[in-house]
Each structure stands twice: as structure tokens, then as C-alpha cells.
């Protein structure tokens, strides 16, 4: 669980930085940066389809 939270935090920072550059370079609205960053970080953290984080199964006896 700690890895998920850290990955979400890192994705938030990375996307926010990228969007800051993109808003400067391409004239995108700056107010959408944090919204996009939170959405992507939440998707990575929650991972509803289990594409990123595999679930652990208890060992069978």
C-alpha cells in the first residue's frame, strides 16, 4: 500500500510539472493542471482494473 501512495504522489508531481510546461509552451489553461494531475494520480493509486498493481493471494494449503 505504501508503494501505491508513493507512486500516486510521484505521478501527481510529474504530471503537474509536465502540465506546467505544456501550459507555458502551448497556451493551455493553467487551472486544469492540478485537476489533471489529481485524476491521473488517483487512477494510478486506485488502479480499478488491476493493470498496475497485482493483488496478492493467500498461499493455498
Q: Is the pLDDT of residue 52 over 70?
A: yes
| Run of H or E including 11 | helix 2-26
Q: State pTM to two decimals.
A: 0.79
Answer with the residue of higher pLDDT: 26 or 58. Answer: 26
pLDDT of residue 26: 95
pLDDT band at 61 (very low <50, low <70, confident <90, very high): low
Reference 36, options 47, 23, 51; nearest CA is 23
Q: What is the pLDDT of residues 9-51, one digit of tens each?
A: 999 999 999 999 999 999 999 999 999 999 999 999 988 877 7
Amino acid at each position: 500500500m505504501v508503494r501505491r501512495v508513493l507512486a500516486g504522489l510521484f505521478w501527481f508531481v510529474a504530471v503537474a510539472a509536465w502540465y506546467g510546461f505544456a501550459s507555458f509552451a502551448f497556451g493551455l489553461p493553467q487551472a486544469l493542471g492540478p485537476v489533471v494531475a489529481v485524476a491521473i494520480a488517483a487512477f494510478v493509486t486506485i488502479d480499478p482494473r488491476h493493470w498496475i498493481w497485482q493483488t496478492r493471494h493467500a498461499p493455498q494449503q
